[in-house]
Amino acid sequence: MLDIKFIRENPEIVKENIRKKFQDQKLDLVDKAIELDVRFRAIKTEVENLRSKRNAVSKQIGALMAQGKKAEAEEVKKQIALDAEKITALTEEEKTVEEELTKTVMVLPNIIDDSVPVGKDDSENVERERFGEPVVPDFEIPYHTEIMENLAGIDLDSARRVAGNGFYYLTGKIAILHSSILAYARNFMVNRGFTYCIPPFMIRSNVVSGVMSFAEMENMMYKIEGEDLYLIGTSEHSMIGKFIDQIVSEDELPITLTSYSPCFRKEKGAHGIEERGVYRIHQFEKQEMIVLCKPEDSMYWFDQLWKNTVDFFRSLEIPVRTLECCSGDLADLKVKSLDVEAWSPRQKKYFEVGSCSTLGDAQARRLRIRAKGKDGNYLVHTLNNTVVAPPRMLIAFLENHLQADGSIFIPEVLRPYCGFDKIEPAQKKK
């Protein structure tokens, strides 16, 4: 959400940013916002003048009554009554205009960083760096659910009967592996100075509208019927919401948190739900990282966050690369975003396993999250990044650690969490 003062003073910058994001249908909204702002401020000034006039005239009535000029006092009272009616009408209009102004401004995309490549969609994202050597083994790698089925680790058929497509049962050592990865991720981030947190898994609508755009909300969030509550799509939502209407001391910054949660998503849109796999599903678990910091430290923390994910995957011996999201692929609140993609030996290409974003002060402005500095209060910057999100991460893990005999190799760092160093194929029932 942009500052209306910035829009008022820099309309061409705002419009050029819209063009970079290929959202030309929103260009007229800039002028609309400015017109609404002019009307809002004019109403506010008029109401203030009328109230000031009423206060002055009220004293005049007292003086007239003291002088015995009752008729004149009554005329003045009539004028006050008319002004009161006008104030009431203007106050109602002020509220309406303010709501329309806020609605308009919230649709305008955040100003992207100058380093963001300009492109229409994710096909124009730019590879930045690779970490680890991608390997394709000399044996065939089955589809990931086939690998898990061979290890007696997944039951999709039962999940469909219970909940429909987009759900799963993980069982046996695959389920243990899943939980072990999350436990390892928790400790990995704690060892990097982040505070561990388990947040609420439901949030109110005012928090939802504070942390994401309307389009994202419509495509992602499940609403609880009859309640002002939504299931979270990621713990970022409730973690940033934790600071709504708060003023933190500048000395507390940066606030670095790592959070665990289940995540629930409709997954509407072009991608849809996979029937066979666990790449795009309605329910999964995730370890996240969140930072609140001073504006001048935002890009430093952006680099720290994506590096954490790269280091995590490399510690599990999985090759990854970073992909800079182009302007057209950025959600409207984001200033800059970098995806971390893991190598898929089966597909012989990389696929997304995490996304690191800085949102500038957009979320803080919507949720009124400020820091108290020496020169007054200011909006903090917020950032988020995925540490790991199994079961999607399991796809990369299983494919990269599958052995020729169908077993799965467990890297040394994970063995204390799992309690085993490999997963053997299940014995076939006779």
pLDDT at 77: 67
pLDDT at 59: 61
Q: Which two tokens stand for residue 91?
A: 């106050």
pLDDT at 73: 65
SS3 per residue for the chain: CCCHHHHHHCHHHHHHHHHHCCCHHHHHHHHHHHHHHHHHHHHHHHHHHHHHHHHHHHHHHHHHHHCCCHHHHHHHHHHHHHHHHHHHHHHHHHHHHHHHHHHHHHHCCCCCCCCCCCCCCHHHCEEEEEECCCCCCCCCCCCHHHHHHHCCCEEHHHHHHHHCCCCCEECHHHHHHHHHHHHHHHHHHHCCCCEEECCCCEECHHHHHHHCCHHHHHHHCEECCCCCCEECCCHHHHHHHCCCCCEEEHHHCCEEEEEEEEEECCCCCCCCCCCCCCCCCCEEEEEEEEEEECHHHHHHHHHHHHHHHHHHHHHCCCCEEEEECCHHHCCCCCCEEEEEEEEECCCCEEEEEEEEEECCCHHHHHHCCEEEECCEEEECEEEEEEEECCCHHHHHHHHHHECCCCCEECCHHHHHHHCCCEECCCCCCC
pLDDT at 430: 47
pLDDT in tens, the chain (430 residues): 899 999 999 999 999 999 999 999 999 999 999 999 999 999 999 888 888 777 666 666 666 566 666 677 666 667 777 777 888 889 899 999 999 999 999 999 999 999 999 999 999 999 999 999 999 999 999 999 999 999 999 999 999 999 998 899 999 999 999 999 999 999 999 999 999 999 999 999 999 999 987 677 777 899 999 999 999 999 999 999 999 999 999 999 999 999 999 999 987 655 556 667 888 889 999 999 999 999 999 999 999 999 999 999 999 999 999 999 999 999 999 999 999 999 999 999 999 999 999 999 999 999 999 999 999 999 999 999 999 998 889 999 999 999 999 999 999 999 999 999 999 998 765 4
- In this structure, whether the domain defined by 4-107 belongs to CATH 2.60.40.10 is answered with no
Topology at the third CATH level for domain 122-423: BirA Bifunctional Protein; domain 2 (3.30.930)
Q: Is 236 exposed, middle or buried (0-12, 13-18, 19+ CB in 10 A)?
A: buried
- For the chain, the domains span 4-107, 122-423
- What is Dmax (Cα atoms) for the chain? 112
Q: Are 309 and 396 in contact (CB under 8 A)?
A: no
pLDDT at 191: 98
Rg, the chain, Cα only: 28
pLDDT at 36: 97
Please give the model's pTM, rounded to 2 decimal places: 0.89
Q: Are 350 and 321 in contact (CB under 8 A)?
A: yes
pLDDT at 1: 81
